[in-house]
Amino acid sequence: MTARLLVASLLPDRLDLPAMLFGLVVFAGGIVMMFQHLRRWRAIEVADHSERVRTFEWHKFRRRTLVGALVGACGAVITSLSNTVDSYMYITLVTMLTLFLILILVLAILDLTAVSLFQFTQVGQEKRRAELEEIVRQQKLKQLRNDSTSSDS
């Protein structure tokens, strides 16, 4: 009984427990996202990639880490909303949450566009490389034919 009174005295008068738990889960999700992106970046940093790919992956890492941080900030704001009593503070927190969500959406669209364009250029590069290899192969065949016809004469 005394433990319940102690816990009840520590909690604020108005507490929305589901919102607080949801905010904590979102906050933890943002932290996990940041560590996952860091792990992915370290794996790419060790791998043997060209400077262009490394630069692209670094920018992608920064964008995605920023999104993870914003998700964590959204979780902190949601947790703060769970026990806000003052209406001005509530409006401020909802405005912050809305701005964070809009910023996450903008960064996600930019990231999707950048990754799509990079993959498109990679496919184009591979296609050009294959075409160049085919041209070189055909030139070698032509050279061999010319050498064989000139030796027959």
How high is the mean pLDDT of the chain? 84
Comparing 93 with 5, the larger pLDDT belongs to: 93
- Alpha helices by DSSP H, 12-86: 17-46, 51-81
The predicted structure's pLDDT at residue 3:
66
- Ranges 95-99, 103-107, 129-133, 148-152: which has the least confidence: 148-152
Comparing 123 with 58, the larger pLDDT belongs to: 58
The residue-averaged pLDDT of 18-44 equals 91
The predicted structure's pLDDT at residue 13:
57
Q: What are phi and psi of 6, to 5 degrees?
A: -65, -45
Tell me whether residue 64 is exposed, middle or buried, using C-beta atoms within 10 angstroms of its C-beta: 0 to 12, 13 to 18, 19 or more: buried
Element (H, E) at 114: helix 87-152
Confidence check: pLDDT of 110 > 70: yes
Residue range 131-140, pLDDT digits in tens: 788 888 888 8
